[in-house]
Structure 1
Amino acid sequence: MTSAATADWHAEIERAAQRLDAHRGAYLRETPLWKLSPAAFGLPATPGVEIWLKLEHLQVAGSFKARGMMNRLLANDIPSSGVVVASGGNAGIATAAAAHALGVRCEVFLPSVSPEAKRARLRALGAEVTVVGEAYADALAACLTRQRESGALLTHAYDQPEVVAGAGTLGREIEQQGGVPDSVLVSVGGGGLIGGLAGWFGPRSRVVALEPERAPTLFRAREAGEPVDVTVGGVAADSLGAKRIGSIAWEITQREVRDALLLDDDAIRAAQLWLWKEMKLAVEPAAALPLAALQTGAYVPSEGEKVCLIVCGANLDPAGLA
């Protein structure tokens, strides 16, 4: 594949979709798209505003990551040593599920911030799990060492072309189900999802980056004019815990994404609990940022706007929703 700067992302995403279509049902599923009024969320009525919920937390393996990880595996020859990945949890689960579906070995490196619910899911999928360090960057360093030793296929959580293109098939699916939304609100960690969505929609939609105040990889990169390391923490650190925005996402978002907004942990947690109590949607904190942006007024839709909220993952311990 060509570099991120010169890639035709629309074409790459179409190719990814063709690969993944052969695995629908067994590994991937089409997730629902709900179209609701602001009143359904207790929000002020604005004429013509429609809020779409893309329920990608219902994806196989519990998150959007399933798309990119399977695309990475299908696009490459897998050696006898299998695949290896570093993850806060979701990319590891998606890689392990893809490896299980294809009958290949999988090793996953996790930081200590990863919740036990995600570790248990990985083990149930047959992955070899190693917990190392406190942050995703520590797990990635150990993963890269292991990859050099074993020769396994490296699956990166967010910064490989096949992973970004696979994530972009989510945008393609939204368009097939409901057309092109005016805006798309999406959580950002390392940037694989926003890179894929912005690569698919381009200037046709206003793609809005949402980050926790305690994990602002894209926001700080924009302040600095280039990707920089940030300190990460907070309620969504297991999913949005990359300390630097990915190079592919940086390049795409520089062209296609105008807005990068920050949300505090209290707002994220409140939106997560609202989705559970009012809609019975059990999602992890990272999946609640789009609703938090609306509830706090960080993002206010314009009259007539169709705004799509990406509900990206559900790998959590349900006890935390009590």
Structure 2
Amino acid sequence: MTVTRDDVEAAAHRIAGRVRRTPVLRVSPTLSLKLELLQHAGSFKPRGAFNRLLVAKEQGALSGQGIVTASGGNAGLAGAYAARELGVPARIFVPMTAPATKVARLRTLDADVVQIGSEYAEAYEAAVAEAERTGALLLHAYDQPEVVAGQGTIGLELLAEAEFDTVLVAVGGGGLVGGIATALGDRAQVVGIEPESAPTLARTLDAGELVDVQVGGVAADSLGARRFGALAFEAVRANGVRSVLVSDDSIVAARDELWREYQLAVEHGAAVAYAALQSGAYRPAAGERVVAIICGANTDLSTIG
């Protein structure tokens, strides 16, 4: 199945009033920051979660069994938030390595939290088994059409809010970059930014097919998908998205600078797009207008320097 711009536009209509239209901060004539860290539940992911749940509700597939999802944290928070708003239960499977701040916040959203395994992939296997056993709706963190289309609504907002040539997007499983690329099409260049320690898109593009990738590093809790999403892979190939890699040190430095210069408290995964600029891993051409997506705020504030 392919996600289209029509799907993204339908998602924007469906989730209107349930998600925040996040602001764009213009920090220089050629650089803007899309502040998706201000979204409900602290990341961009409620866009896709609401779209998935609302489509299921329209189809009569959202039952009293509620939803089940697997997450390093943010997709779980989004699913729990959307489920609570729609009045259904949520069971969230997270790896044992998930940050304590995200696990604690999941419980404040009335979610049933199950910690299992050391990586997202193990939590996902458990979530699939639970959905099959109970009949609950499976919400995938990044590889469902409704999820990709929902994340793409950020691209539609950008077209209405800013003038730009390039969008830098953090990459984990690919739902965000795939959705934005679909929304923008040939209207702008989309570049995926990912940690050197979790080069899921880069290795997939190199191979020309979906492959499993060893992941780790400071941003693994949010950008630690072993395998790129099939839907997102179609979108990035169709729209010429490329990958740029950044080091863990540059991610930490960018995160600190976002706090120091703009008072933006972000998680490591949300700093990778900015890190590409600050480290020189991505060098804009003269006059190139760039938007960096700042996509998540769920972090331990004591770790920001």
TM-score under structure 1 normalisation? Answer: 0.92
Q: CA RMSD in A?
A: 1.0
After superposition, residues 33-44 of structure 1 pair within 5 angstroms as 33-37=24-28
Q: Deviations over 1:182-208 (max 9, x none)?
A: 000001000000000000011111100
Q: Percent identity among equivalent residues?
A: 51
Within 2, Cα distance between the matches of 1:290 and 1:17?
Answer: 24
Within 2, Cα distance between the matches of 1:36 and 1:276?
Answer: 14
| Matched residue SS, 1:286 | helix
Within 2, Cα distance between the matches of 1:50 and 1:223?
Answer: 31
The aligned amino acid for 2:21 is: E
Q: Deviations over 1:252-305 (max 9, x none)?
A: 101113421111100001000111112110000111111111111111111221
Q: Deviations over 1:60-94 (max 9, x none)?
A: 11000010001100000311110000000000000
Choose the corresponding residue for 1:242, options 218, 222, 225.
225
Choose the corresponding residue for 2:254, options 258, 265, 271.
271
After superposition, residues 142-153 of structure 1 pair within 5 angstroms as 142-153=126-137
Choose the corresponding residue for 1:127, options 78, 101, 111.
111
Match of 2:9 in 1: 14
| Matched residue SS, 1:75 | helix
After superposition, residues 178-217 of structure 1 pair within 5 angstroms as 178-179=162-163, 181-217=164-200
Choose the corresponding residue for 1:83, options 60, 64, 67.
67
Within 2, Cα distance between the matches of 1:74 and 1:109?
Answer: 21
After superposition, residues 101-140 of structure 1 pair within 5 angstroms as 101-140=85-124
| Matched residue SS, 1:238 | helix
| Matched residue SS, 1:129 | strand
The aligned amino acid for 1:246 is: G
Contact preservation (8 Å) 2:70, 2:140: yes
Within 1, Cα distance between the matches of 2:86 and 2:38?
Answer: 21
Distance apart, 1:225 and its partner CA? 1.4
Distance apart, 1:113 and its partner CA? 1.7
Contact preservation (8 Å) 1:167, 1:192: yes
Contact preservation (8 Å) 2:75, 2:141: yes
After superposition, residues 149-188 of structure 1 pair within 5 angstroms as 149-179=133-163, 181-188=164-171
Match of 2:286 in 1: 303
Q: Deviations over 1:201-259 (max 9, x none)?
A: 11111100111011111100111111110111100000001000000011110111342
Q: Deviations over 1:142-200 (max 9, x none)?
A: 00110110000000000000000000001111111124x20000010000000000000
Within 2, Cα distance between the matches of 1:266 and 1:137?
Answer: 26
Point out where structure 2 has 5 or more consecutive residues left out of the alignment: none
The aligned amino acid for 1:62 is: G
Contact preservation (8 Å) 1:113, 1:237: no
The aligned amino acid for 2:144 is: Q
Within 2, Cα distance between the matches of 1:225 and 1:273?
Answer: 35
How many residue pairs match? The answer is 301
Point out where structure 1 has 5 or more consecutive residues left out of the alignment: 38-48
Aligned structure 1 segments of 4 or more residues deviating by more than 6 angstroms: none
The aligned amino acid for 1:158 is: Y
